[in-house]
């Protein structure tokens, strides 16, 4: 039912979507388990983006952005790598004999919707406390300009 609710919410947004920037939407943030990810990437800004496909249509529609808190190279075989490091999730890239390990923050700093799944994020929320989705997240930006920035946030994007 949760997936259906998400799908309905995304569909509602798409149906309501005008060509110009629309008002501030109220999309429900979720905190999907990392195991449900469909991809991840270490970006040039040093943050690690994890992608999810909440409506299961094969295309990413939701992303969480995490700090990388530790990186290291190890020659340990893949099967001996930890899934977690002191409770924080671990990602890795295999470079032949070595693995580059990325330990990321347990909870995301940003949550981002890509409602039309075009690769450009449409709505970003910031969670300065990094304590998961619990209502203290704040609107951060609409990189695609799909949504208009609430007056109380304009000029205060940091
Ligand atoms: Ca999708
Ligand atoms: Ca988009
Ligand atoms: Ca939070």
Q: How far apart are CA 41 and CA 31, in angstroms?
A: 18
For residue 18, the SS3 value is coil
pLDDT-derived band at 88, boundaries 50, 70, 90 = very high
Q: Can you give the pTM of this predicted structure?
A: 0.79
Domain membership of residue 154 (yes or no) is: no
Domain membership of residue 3 (yes or no) is: no
Q: HSE (CB half, 13 Å, CA atoms) of 44?
A: 0
Domain membership of residue 21 (yes or no) is: no
Q: What share of the chain has pLDDT > 70, as a percent?
A: 77
The per-residue pLDDT for range 89-131, each reduced to its tens digit, is: 999 999 999 999 999 999 999 999 999 999 999 999 999 999 9
Q: Which domain holds residue 44?
A: 31-147
**Which ligand minimizes its atom distance to the CA of 144?**
2
Domain membership of residue 157 (yes or no) is: no
The answer to whether 89 touches 104, Cβ cutoff 8 Å, is yes
Domain membership of residue 155 (yes or no) is: no
Interval 15-42 mean pLDDT: 78
149's tokens: 């920035």
User: H/E element holding 63?
Assistant: strand 62-74
Domain membership of residue 9 (yes or no) is: no
Domain membership of residue 80 (yes or no) is: yes
Distance 146 CA to ligand 1 centre (A): 18
Distance 132 CA to ligand 2 centre (A): 23
Domain membership of residue 97 (yes or no) is: yes
62's tokens: 């939701």
Residues bordering ligand 2, an ion, CB closer than 5 Å: 114, 116, 118, 120, 122, 144
Q: Domain count of the chain?
A: 1
pLDDT at 12 over 60: no
CB neighbours (10 Å) of residue 69?
14
Pairing label, strands 62-74, 98-104: antiparallel
């Amino acid at each position: 039912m949760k997936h259906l609710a998400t799908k309905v919410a995304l569909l509602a947004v798409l149906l309501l979507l005008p060509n110009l920037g629309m008002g501030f939407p109220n999309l429900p943030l979720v905190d999907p388990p990392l195991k449900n990810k469909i991809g991840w990437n270490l970006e040039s800004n040093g943050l690690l983006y994890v992608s999810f496909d909440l409506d299961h249509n094969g295309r990413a529609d939701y992303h969480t952005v995490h700090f990388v808190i530790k990186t290291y190279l190890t020659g340990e075989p893949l099967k001996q790598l930890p899934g977690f490091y002191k409770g924080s999730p671990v990602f890795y890239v295999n470079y032949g004999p070595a693995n580059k390990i990325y330990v990321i923050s347990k909870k995301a700093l940003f949550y981002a919707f890509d409602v039309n799944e075009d690769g450009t994020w449409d709505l970003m929320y910031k969670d300065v406390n990094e304590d998961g989705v619990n209502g203290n997240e704040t609107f951060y930006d609409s990189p695609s300009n799909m949504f208009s920035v609430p007056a109380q946030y304009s000029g205060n994007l940091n």
